[in-house]
Structure 1
Amino acid sequence: MTGAEKRREARRDQVLDAASACFVEHGFHGAGMAKVAKKAQMSVGHIYHYFESKEAIIAAIVDRESELAVERFAELYALPSDEIAAAMINRAEDIVVTKSDAFQSALNLEIQAEAQRNPHIAAILQEHDKKIRGLFSNILNTKLGLTDADARTELLMSLFGGLASRVLRNPGLKREKLIPLFQSLMHNLLNEPANA
C-alpha cells in the first residue's frame, strides 16, 4: 500500500469512527452528516469525497467488521484440524469481551434497527451474516467433520450475538462468570458427535 493509499484509508477510518460515535450517541437519523463531519474534524464535502451517503458509511462499517471476522476465520482454517476446537474455545474470553462491549453493542443494535426500516441496509447485513456463517460452518464441517455444522454455527452465533442485547439491558453483566460457561458450551458443540 502506497503512502497516499494509507492516508486515504486512515481518513476513511476517521470518518467511520466518527460516524459510529454519532450513530451511538444520536441514532442513525439523528446523526446528520454535519454532526459526523464535526466529530471527524473535517468538512461535510470532504466526507462526501470518501462516502456518497450515510448508507455507504454503514456499509463500510459492516464491511470493516466483516474483514476482521474473515481474518480470524482464515487464521483458524490455517490451523491443523486437531487444534481448531481448542483454539476456538481459548478465544471465548476475547469473544465475550468483544461481543459485550457496550459501545459496539449499541452501534450494532442501531444498525440492526435501521435495517428494519431500510431494505438496502438489511441486504448489507444479511450478506455480511451469510458470508461469516459460511466461513464458520465450513470450518466446522470440513476441518472438524461436524455434519450439522450449519445448526451449530447458528447456535454459537446466536449465543455470542445475544450478549450485545444483554449488556445494554444488564450493564452489570459479570463477563468473568460467563466465560467458563461459554467455553463449556463450545467444547460440547465442537467436540461431541452430531446427533442423527
Structure 2
Amino acid sequence: MPRVSDEHLAARRQQILDAARVCFSRDGFHATSMQDVIAEAGLSVGAVYRYFKSKQELVTSIAEDVLEGADAVLGEIAAHEPPLPLADAVERALDFADGQTGPDGLFRIAIQVWGEALRDPELAVFVKDRYSRFRQHYATIARRAQEAGDLPPDADVEAVGAALFGMVPAYAIQRVLADGPDKKTYAAAVRTLLMR
C-alpha cells in the first residue's frame, strides 16, 4: 500500500477541524457529538478517529488554532517598528478581532473555549498560558510606548498592558453578543480614553 503524503494527512486533519468549527459554531461544544462532526466532514468514523480520539481533542485543537492566530498578530503589533502609539496598537488588535466576530468568525468559538476552560483543567492551563502571553505582548506595547514618551515614565507597564488587553475581548464580546458597537466607533472611544 502506498504511503499517504504528509500534505494529504494535513489536509484531512484540517477538513475535520473545519467540520468541527462549523458544528461548534452552529450548535456549541456540548450539543455537538462526534457523529455530527463525522457527518459534517463527510468522512468515515475510522478516518475521523484516526486524527482525533475524542471531541475534547477537537476542542483543544481548535482552541490552539484560535489562540495561536491571535498570539501571532499581537506579537507582530508588539514588535512593530517604529513602536506604535497605544491607540494605534489597540486599533490593529481590534482589526483582527473584528474579522473574527462575524457568523463564521472564530470569536464565537473563543467564547465557548473560555467556558470549557472552567471545567477542563488541561484546557484551562493552555488558555491561561496563552492569555498570559497576550498580556505580555500588551505589556511590551506599553513598555515601548513608554520609551517613546507615549506613557509617563512611572506608569506600571504590566498594569497598562493588562488594561489594554481587556479592551479587545470586551469589544469582540459586544460585537458577538450585543451587535455593537462597530469598530470605528469603538476605536474612536479607545483613542479618547487613551488621550493624556
User: Same fold, TM exceeding 0.5?
Assistant: yes
Displacement of 1:32: 0.7
Query: Which whole-Å deviations, capped at 9, do the CAs of 1:13-68 have from their partners, x for residues lacking one?
Result: 22222112211222212111110111122123212222222222222112212322
| Contact 1:22/1:36 (8 A) holds in 2 | yes
Higher helix share: 1
| Structure 1 gaps, min length 5 | none
| Aligned pairs (5 A) from 1:72-87 | 72-80=73-81, 82-85=82-85
| Structure 2 gaps, min length 5 | none
* TM-score, structure 1 as length reference: 0.76
Instruction: Specify the alignment match of 2:175 in structure 1.
Output: 167
Distance change (3 Å), C-alpha of 1:158 and 1:30: same
Distance change (3 Å), C-alpha of 1:123 and 1:89: closer
Instruction: Specify the alignment match of 1:49 in structure 2.
Output: 50
Displacement of 1:94: 1.1
* Identical columns (%): 25
Displacement of 1:120: 2.2
In 2, Cα distance between equivalents of 1:46 and 1:68: 27
User: Is 2:158 the partner of 1:150?
Assistant: yes
Instruction: Specify the alignment match of 2:40 in structure 1.
Output: 39
For the aligned residues, what is the CA RMSD? 2.8
Query: Which consecutive aligned stretches of 4+ in structure 1 deviate over 6 angstroms post-superposition?
Result: none
The SS at the match of 1:117 is coil
Instruction: Specify the alignment match of 1:23 in structure 2.
Output: 24
* TM-score, structure 2 as length reference: 0.76
Distance change (3 Å), C-alpha of 1:115 and 1:8: same
Question: Which residue of 131, 134, 147 maps to 1:132?
Answer: 134
Question: Which residue of 178, 182, 189 maps to 1:181?
Answer: 189
Instruction: Specify the alignment match of 1:112 in structure 2.
Output: 114
Deviates more, 1:174-183 or 1:39-48: 174-183
Query: Which whole-Å deviations, capped at 9, do the CAs of 1:119-159 have from their partners, x for residues lacking one?
Result: 22222211221222223323432575465222122212212
| Contact 2:29/2:112 (8 A) holds in 1 | yes
The SS at the match of 1:84 is coil
Aligned length in residues = 185
